[in-house]
A and B are shown apart, each in its own frame.
Chain A
Amino acid sequence: MRELLVSLLRSEPAQGQRTKGTSVFWILSGTASGLLLMGWLLPWFVNAYSAGVGYSAQDVTVSPPTGVGTVLIYILAVTMVVLVVSPLAEVLVPRLRGRRFGRTADRIRLIAALAGLALTAVIWLLVSVIQEEPLFGSMGPGTFTDSAVWLTMYGYALAALVYGARPWVVGRQTLAFGVAVLPFGLFLPLMFHQAPDFLLWAAGSLAIYMLLALGLNVVVGFAGLLDLGYAAFFAIGAYACASFASPIHSIHLPLWVLIFVGAAIASTFGAILGAPTLRLRGDYLAIVTLGFGEIIPDLATNNVFNLTGGPNGISGIDQPKWGFLDFGASPRWYYWSLLLVSIAVVVLFRNIERSRVGRAWVALREDEVAAASTGINTTTTKLLAFAIGASVSGLAGAFYGSLVSIVSPDDFSFSVSIAVLSIIVLGGIGNIVGVILGSFILTFVIFWVLPNMNQWSTTLSQTVHVPALANIDFTSYTYIIYGIALILMMLLRPGGLLPSRARRIELESTVEGESLAAVQGVA
């Protein structure tokens, strides 16, 4: 704990810990390895599951198995093995950990990464620019597409960064994480330019869930108020945006106006719905918010004030456009605007977390009475958490509406609240980086693993000759799988994948704050 704090505060880690890894370091080197593997396996993968990620089999080029260039490929393979296997060895074999091997190993890895990067570039130039395909011959499923090249090169660049600048990465974790991840985010549309559906689908669902999770994290993680009805705010945000960018009221605002309007409306409702819960804590609060989560979609179903279009919802929502710029069919721009908004939200929330308000939330979570007597206004501080948390659902709502072009009450059921809550529990309540990681994982599971489970089990049943497997409909087990995952998570890593500092301490102690209401004898 103290070590981590010290390493966060210093640019150079303390002597003797120079090469010691930290979670961010291992995440980044793991990601680099993952990208390298993906880069190589992608074409094979595309072959096998051409429908899966929006690729078609034609994207894979195949040519005869001759050519000197194959040597380059072999060198590349060795480079990859060095980079993918060696960090694993360092994690698994304790003797390899630490400074004895670390620095030399890192230099070798750096050189390997740079060599890999250069070779990939050479091969790519030879193949696609100089059109020297015969030079390499057929690599069968190993032949790569442009996306594969991008992934591989990015993997090498990331590996070069984490191994070449290890002390820096360890010393400035957040910055290092940003430096490593941001280019990937920016280049993604270029990497996957052959798969626009994938881009739209992945970016849309991921970023929307991520925004929601970041918003809920303010309420649950920062302010410590358990909210089981967060989907209510998402519904309000989405309906607000849908109303202002669809034929229903004949209003058509551009996206950038919409996100502000959406955020304003959603945060107002956040404060309004937050107000009655101010005196409540823990389980009571959870139950009241649960109620909100049920009431809001119900109101929408009943078409209150003729605003919501009843059970059918609001349809014909405008395609995203930034006033003058109409994205129309360009998912790339939709993606980039989502990325921009998400980054803005992350940066903003990080600053809020470290601001006076952020400190007040921590104090409130710790001891409401002490917080009040140090001059913190408990009422406004809590309301602010609800309002800020809800405001993001306005942004998410705007993007959601333009992605699906129809919002209806069913989209905001209890399961959405639970999904968003699961993201932050999984990633690490109160830790922004953890929440982002959680949204990556959960979106991946919800939108890719679960829908594909049936197909996989069918394949598996044929392979292992167990016909019963083919008959299981995994889509109906979604929540069971969910539940099991959450239970496992709580048992194995109760603070989430990347626990926040407060959580880590909490898990080590059993100190409990007392509520102001209890001191006043009201609750």
Chain B
Amino acid sequence: MSTNGLSANGEQLSASAPGADAGKVIELREIDVFYGRVNALSKVSLEVRQGEIVALIGSNGAGKTTTLRTISGLISPRSGEVRLFGNSVRGLGAEHIARLGVGHAPEGRRLFSRMTVRENLDMGAYSRNDRTGIRTDLERVFTLFPRLRERASQLAGSLSGGEQQMVAIGRALMSAPKVLLLDEPSLGLAPILVDAIFEVIREINSKGTTILLIEQNALLALKTASRGYVLETGSVALSGPSAELIASPDIQRAYLGM
């Protein structure tokens, strides 16, 4: 089975994924992103539909983090268009995009390390005003990660790596996002914790939150996601339903180590 149902070089050959006509939550149209003179992304197109889990895989420096940063408005593309919930977000800063309902658990967690766990979670709800909603979501985060309830008054910087990752996801959830961007949630975690985190990711998704996920463990990512994109040196090399990506010999060789 070669590229049947898969797209190569960014060309979508098959649109057979379930819910194809559901609303597009994220849509990147041929974006080019530069860091100064470094061209990090070229002509990347990608879409994430309502209720999906989509995986973004690729080797180090392929531009995965850059893609998420562009979606959440931390960087603006030089050309191309970012559309969220059907509208172009050209010129909107990160704070506006966060308010649109995009939660970002960034690479390296980036907690407010001198704040407590509880304060970090509260910061996640910074742009919300509905007190009851915030309380419900806090309760939800504590139910998803019971560990955080115990550690609520501990300084985030002094947590273990896994606990920090929980805070990062929890903080992103506290903004009641419609779509959640997760950048390597399993980085540096013990295998058992990785499974737990992914269990939580599925659970979050089952409650209706759309998820775009970066993950080094390509197999795990593709098993969790319904669709996947493979980035290679700044452009989309392959994309398609997870099952087909897993079955693709190219992917197996390059990312699954088979």
State the A residues within 8 Å of B (CB). Answer: 2, 5, 356, 359-360, 362-363, 366-367, 369-379, 502, 505-506, 509, 511, 516, 519-522
Known: A356-B126, A359-B126, A366-B114. A520 touches B99 (CB 8 A): no
Chain B neighbourhood of A373, CB < 8 A: 72, 74, 94, 98, 104, 106
**How far, in Å, is B249 (CB) from chain A's closest CB?**
36
Q: A372 — nearest CB in chain B belongs to which residue?
A: B94
Q: B171 — nearest CB in chain A belongs to which residue?
A: A374
Find out whether the CB atom of B35 lies under 8 angstroms from the CB atom of A374.
no
Would you list which residues of chain B between 66 and 80 have a CB under 8 Å from chain A?
Answer: 69, 72-75
Would you list which residues of chain B between 108 and 158 have a CB under 8 Å from chain A?
Answer: 110-115, 119, 122-124, 126-127, 153, 155, 157-158
In whole angstroms, what is the CA distance A372 to B110 when docked?
11
**25 contacts across the A-B interface (CB closer than 8 A):** A359-B119, A360-B126, A363-B123, A367-B111, A370-B106, A370-B111, A370-B112, A371-B112, A371-B123, A372-B93, A372-B95, A373-B74, A373-B98, A373-B104, A374-B126, A376-B127, A377-B93, A378-B93, A378-B95, A516-B74, A519-B74, A520-B35, A521-B35, A521-B38, A522-B36
Find out whether the CB atom of A511 lies under 8 angstroms from the CB atom of B113.
yes
Q: A503 — nearest CB in chain B belongs to which residue?
A: B114
Find out whether the CB atom of B36 lies under 8 angstroms from the CB atom of A521.
yes
**How far, in Å, is B32 (CB) from chain A's closest CB?**
14
In whole angstroms, what is the CA distance A363 to B124 when docked?
10
**How far, in Å, is A381 (CB) from chain B's closest CB?**
9
Chain A neighbourhood of B124, CB < 8 A: 374
Chain B neighbourhood of A372, CB < 8 A: 73-74, 93-95, 98
Find out whether the CB atom of A359 lies under 8 angstroms from the CB atom of B95.
no
Find out whether the CB atom of B114 lies under 8 angstroms from the CB atom of A509.
yes
Which 7 residue pairs are nearest across A and B when measured between Cβ atoms?
A521-B35, A375-B127, A375-B98, A372-B94, A370-B110, A366-B112, A377-B95
**How far, in Å, is A510 (CB) from chain B's closest CB?**
10
Chain A neighbourhood of B34, CB < 8 A: 521
Q: B128 — nearest CB in chain A belongs to which residue?
A: A375
**Besides A366-B115, A369-B110, A373-B106, 12 new A-B residue pairs in contact (Cβ under 8 A), listed by A number:** A371-B123, A372-B95, A373-B72, A375-B175, A378-B95, A505-B114, A505-B155, A506-B114, A509-B158, A511-B157, A520-B75, A521-B35
In whole angstroms, what is the CA distance A359 to B72 when docked?
21
Q: A359 — nearest CB in chain B belongs to which residue?
A: B123
Q: A514 — nearest CB in chain B belongs to which residue?
A: B110
**How far, in Å, is B234 (CB) from chain A's closest CB?**
14
Q: A520 — nearest CB in chain B belongs to which residue?
A: B75
In whole angstroms, what is the CA distance A362 to B155 when docked?
14
In whole angstroms, what is the CA distance A506 to B157 when docked?
10
Chain A neighbourhood of B114, CB < 8 A: 362, 366, 502, 505-506, 509, 511
In whole angstroms, what is the CA distance A364 to B258 when docked?
45
In whole angstroms, what is the CA distance A362 to B123 when docked?
10
In whole angstroms, what is the CA distance A254 to B122 when docked?
44
**How far, in Å, is A385 (CB) from chain B's closest CB?**
16
In whole angstroms, what is the CA distance A174 to B69 when docked?
42
Chain A neighbourhood of B110, CB < 8 A: 367, 369-370
Chain A neighbourhood of B127, CB < 8 A: 374-376
State the B residues within 8 Å of A (CB). Answer: 34-36, 38, 69, 72-75, 93-95, 98-99, 104, 106, 110-115, 119, 122-124, 126-127, 153, 155, 157-158, 171, 175
Chain B neighbourhood of A379, CB < 8 A: 93
Find out whether the CB atom of B115 lies under 8 angstroms from the CB atom of A375.
no
In whole angstroms, what is the CA distance A327 to B112 when docked?
50
In whole angstroms, what is the CA distance A359 to B35 when docked?
30
In whole angstroms, what is the CA distance A376 to B125 when docked?
10
**How far, in Å, is A454 (CB) from chain B's closest CB?**
45
Known: A520-B75, A521-B36, A521-B38. A376 touches B126 (CB 8 A): yes
Chain B neighbourhood of A519, CB < 8 A: 69, 74-75
In whole angstroms, what is the CA distance A5 to B118 when docked?
14
Find out whether the CB atom of B126 lies under 8 angstroms from the CB atom of A375.
yes
In whole angstroms, what is the CA distance A356 to B93 when docked?
19
**How far, in Å, is A383 (CB) from chain B's closest CB?**
14
**How far, in Å, is A513 (CB) from chain B's closest CB?**
8
Find out whether the CB atom of B157 lies under 8 angstroms from the CB atom of A369.
no
Q: A377 — nearest CB in chain B belongs to which residue?
A: B95
Chain A neighbourhood of B36, CB < 8 A: 521-522
Chain A neighbourhood of B98, CB < 8 A: 372-375
Known: A374-B98, A374-B123, A374-B126. A362 touches B74 (CB 8 A): no
Q: Which listed residue, B74, B104, B111, B153, touches A2 by the CB 8 Å rule?
A: B153
**How far, in Å, is B155 (CB) from chain A's closest CB?**
6
Find out whether the CB atom of A369 lies under 8 angstroms from the CB atom of B126.
no
Chain B neighbourhood of A5, CB < 8 A: 153
In whole angstroms, what is the CA distance A519 to B104 when docked?
15
Chain B neighbourhood of A356, CB < 8 A: 126
In whole angstroms, what is the CA distance A218 to B219 when docked?
50
Chain A neighbourhood of B75, CB < 8 A: 519-521
In whole angstroms, what is the CA distance A463 to B69 when docked?
72
In whole angstroms, what is the CA distance A367 to B175 when docked?
17
In whole angstroms, what is the CA distance A373 to B103 when docked?
7
Chain A neighbourhood of B72, CB < 8 A: 373
Chain B neighbourhood of A502, CB < 8 A: 114
Max chain B C-beta neighbours (<10 A), residue from A360, A363, A367, A377: A367
**How far, in Å, is B163 (CB) from chain A's closest CB?**
15
In whole angstroms, what is the CA distance A360 to B124 when docked?
11
Q: Which listed residue, A359, A363, A369, touches B106 by the CB 8 Å rule?
A: A369
**How far, in Å, is B215 (CB) from chain A's closest CB?**
19
In whole angstroms, what is the CA distance A5 to B115 when docked?
12
Max chain A C-beta neighbours (<10 A), residue from B72, B73, B119, B123: B123
Q: B174 — nearest CB in chain A belongs to which residue?
A: A374
In whole angstroms, what is the CA distance A18 to B55 when docked?
56
**How far, in Å, is A495 (CB) from chain B's closest CB?**
13
In whole angstroms, what is the CA distance A369 to B105 when docked?
11
In whole angstroms, what is the CA distance A89 to B37 when docked?
66
Max chain B C-beta neighbours (<10 A), residue from A362, A372, A375, A521: A375
Find out whether the CB atom of B126 lies under 8 angstroms from the CB atom of A366.
no
**How far, in Å, is A241 (CB) from chain B's closest CB?**
36
In whole angstroms, what is the CA distance A506 to B124 when docked?
22
Chain B neighbourhood of A522, CB < 8 A: 36
Chain A neighbourhood of B112, CB < 8 A: 362-363, 366-367, 370-371
**How far, in Å, is A368 (CB) from chain B's closest CB?**
9
**How far, in Å, is A438 (CB) from chain B's closest CB?**
22
**How far, in Å, is B182 (CB) from chain A's closest CB?**
12
